Amino acid sequence: MSFWSKEPLFWLFHFLALVCYLLIVTVLMLPTPEWLLYTVVHAGVKISLMLLGCFTFRYFYLQQAWQNLTVFNLAQKIAIASLLISILACSLSLSFSYISAQWMLADHLYQSVIVHGETKHKVLELAWAIFSGLFIVLGWCALYCFIEHRKLQTATKLENLQLQQALKQAQLDALHTQLNPHFLFNSLNNIRSLIRINAEQAIEMITALSQILRFSLAHQQTDKIPLASELAIVDCLIDIAQLQFAERLVFSKQIGQGLEQALVPPLAIQTLVENALKHGVDQRKSATELKLIIKHGKQQLNIEVSNCGTLNPEVKHAHSEDKTGVGLSNLTQRLQLVYANQANFQLTETDGKVVAQLNMPLQMG
C-alpha cells in the first residue's frame, strides 16, 4: 500500500482545490497589500499541512481496512483524526508564520503584531485556526470515506454481476460442451448396444446421464455446493466412463473424513475428472489408473486428480483452452471470482502421471 495515491484525478482535484483556496485568500487580502504575502504564504503552508494529514488518514484508512468498520466506529476515528490533524497543522503553520514574518512583513507591523502582540491574541488566533481547520479536515475525511464507500459498493456490485454471469455461462457451457457431441454420442451408442445384452445396466447408465443433466440445471445459480453433492455427480460420470472404457479405466478415490459438507464450486471436481478421462484414459490403449484424492490442511481444501500419462507444453496449452465440462480456463476464472487470490489451480506432470491440483479455502456448509 503506497502512501501517495497513483490516481491522476486525485492529484488534479487537490491541486485545483489548493489553487482556488489561495486565489480566494489573495482576493480577500487585496485591500491590505502589506499583509498579502504573509497571509497567502501562511494559508498555503496551513492547507498543505492539513492535506498531508488527510493523506495520512487516507493511508491508515486503506491499510487498516477502516471501510469495514461500523458507521459509529468510523465516525469516531474521523473525529479523532480530524482534531489531531487540525491541531498539528495549525500549530506548525502558525509557528512557521511567526518565524518567517520578519522577512514578509514591514518592520513596524512585525514589531507591533508579532513581537509585541498580546499573548492572548496569539492564543485566540491559534484556537480559531484549529476550530476552522477542524471543519475543513472533517469535511475532507467524511467526503473521502463516502467516495470510497461508493466505490466499494460499485465494485462489489460489479463483482457480483461478473460472478453471476460466470456461473450462468459455466452452467450453459456444461450443457452445451461438457456433454459434447462426441461424449454424448459414445455414451448413447454404448447404452444402445448394452440394451440388448443387459437392459438393467443400460437403464442405470441412462439414469446416470440424466442425473448429470439434472445437476447442471439445478445448480445454475449456485456458486458453492457441498462436496457430497459434487462427488455424487462425479460417480455418475465414472459410471458412464466405465461403460465406455471398461477395463481400461481403473478409478479410485480417497476422501478425508468429515469433508462431506465442505463447500466447492459446482462441477469443479467433475471438470478435472472429465479432463483426465478425455486427455488421459481416452488417449491410452492400456489400463489407466485415475485417482481422486481430497484432503485438508491449514484451513485449505486440497483436491488432486491424477492419471497415467505425459504432459507436454502443447498439450498443456490445449488443456488451458479446452472447453470440456465448464473448461479448465473457465474453472480458473470462476475460482478467481469466488475466492479472489485465495484459490489456485495447477496442472503438472510428476513421475509419469499428469496431476491436476486444486486448492481453495476450507469452508463448511
CB 170 within 8 A of CB 267: yes
**Residue 169 above 80 pLDDT?**
no
Name the nearest CA neighbour of 255 among 227, 278, 275.
Answer: 227
- Between 116 and 189, residue with greater pLDDT: 189
**CA gap 26, 356 in Å, rounded:** 69
Whole-number pLDDT of residue 327: 62
DSSP annotation of 35: G
> What pTM value is reported for the model?
0.48
CB 296 within 8 A of CB 333: no
Classified as helix, coil or strand, 2 is coil
pLDDT digits over 99-128, tens only?
887 777 777 776 766 666 555 566 887 888
Q: Which segments within the chain are labelled E, that is strand?
A: 225-226, 249-255, 263-264, 288-297, 300-308, 344-350, 353-361
Whole-number pLDDT of residue 333: 73
What are the b/e assignments for 256-272, b being 16+ CB within 10 Å?
eeebeebbbbbbbbbbb
CB 332 within 8 A of CB 347: no
- Between 156 and 143, residue with greater pLDDT: 143
pLDDT digits over 256-276, tens only?
888 888 888 887 888 888 888
pLDDT digits over 199-253, tens only?
777 787 788 778 777 776 666 567 788 888 888 888 888 888 887 777 888 888 8
Name the nearest CA neighbour of 324 among 214, 224, 237.
Answer: 237
pLDDT digits over 30-48, tens only?
888 888 888 888 889 999 9
pLDDT band of residue 318 (cuts 50, 70, 90) is very low
Classified as helix, coil or strand, 195 is helix
166 CB contacts (<8 Å, ≥6 apart)?
A: 330, 333, 334, 337
First to last CA, the chain: 34
**CA gap 197, 195 in Å, rounded:** 6
How big is the chain, counted in residues?
365
**CA gap 19, 306 in Å, rounded:** 65
